[in-house]
A and B are shown apart, each in its own frame.
Chain A
């Protein structure tokens, strides 16, 4: 089960498993982001390359207007995937 929501501060909260079947749901929310925000991974258990693609597309779009995503509270497993993909070079990860 995957869920994505925006909290009162405008930051994005992810939970569950972001696999290839969930990218439309993720894009629907992320496409509405127009400024720099944090994306909280605390309750996200899993992400595949399909999910990485959605985040990359958002980061590219925001960068055109000087914005960016900051990724926070990642599990070590997910951090490993970002590292292997060298996505730690194009996202700020805290």
Chain B
């Protein structure tokens, strides 16, 4: 059974992260989400939100987040209303076995989230980018 969708929009800035986490915290409290799932939810939302800010600083309009619960899964959508294409479902070329001197962090955030969330989707049309993913409640 589904629940009411919570929705909020955020200014395109890293400084918006506090508000983003207030939003996920409110959602987690309403649904009794445990600490482990909350961690992955926050990580996924931060990595995608900061990507939208970092790679598209001149985009117009706020970034919208929608979250709901259906069949024991959290469903999250992030929508950038004015962006080029950046498919977050594509494999990241990260070599995890490189030595310390050769390791880089670029791309690591999306790589991590790809490992941690389920049903990751990306859609881009008319300059609107939508990222969606699911997380089991348990």
Q: Which of A49, A59, A63, A77 makes the CB contact (< 8 A) with B109?
A: A49
Q: How many residues of B contact A (CB 8 A)?
A: 26
By a CB distance below 8 angstroms, the chain B residues around A81 are 43, 112
By a CB distance below 8 angstroms, the chain A residues around B100 are 59-60, 63, 90
Complex contact A49–B105 (CB within 8 A):
yes
Given contacts A20-B17, A81-B112, is CB(A90)–CB(B50) below 8 Å? no
Given contacts A20-B46, A21-B17, A21-B18, is CB(A49)–CB(B101) below 8 Å? no
Q: Mark A26-58, 1 if CB is under 8 A from B, else 0.
A: 000000000000000000001011101100100
Q: Does B120 contact A (CB under 8 A)?
A: no
By a CB distance below 8 angstroms, the chain A residues around B116 are 84
Complex contact A85–B101 (CB within 8 A):
no
Q: How far is the CB of B55 from chain A (nearest CB, A)?
A: 13
Complex contact B97–A86 (CB within 8 A):
yes
- Taken together as a complex, chains A and B put the C-alpha atoms of A20 and B21 apart, in Å, by 12
Q: Which of B15, B43, B46, B105 makes the CB contact (< 8 A) with A56?
A: B105
Task: Find the A residue at minimum CB distance from B20.
Answer: A19
Task: Find the A residue at minimum CB distance from B96.
Answer: A86
Q: Does A17 contact B (CB under 8 A)?
A: yes
By a CB distance below 8 angstroms, the chain B residues around A19 are 17, 21, 46
11 A–B contacts from the bound complex (CB under 8 Å) = A17-B21, A20-B17, A20-B50, A48-B42, A48-B50, A49-B105, A52-B105, A60-B101, A60-B103, A77-B35, A86-B97
Residues of B whose CB lies within 8 Å of any CB of A are 14-15, 17-18, 21, 35-36, 39, 42-43, 46-47, 50, 96-97, 99-101, 103, 105, 108-109, 111-112, 115-116
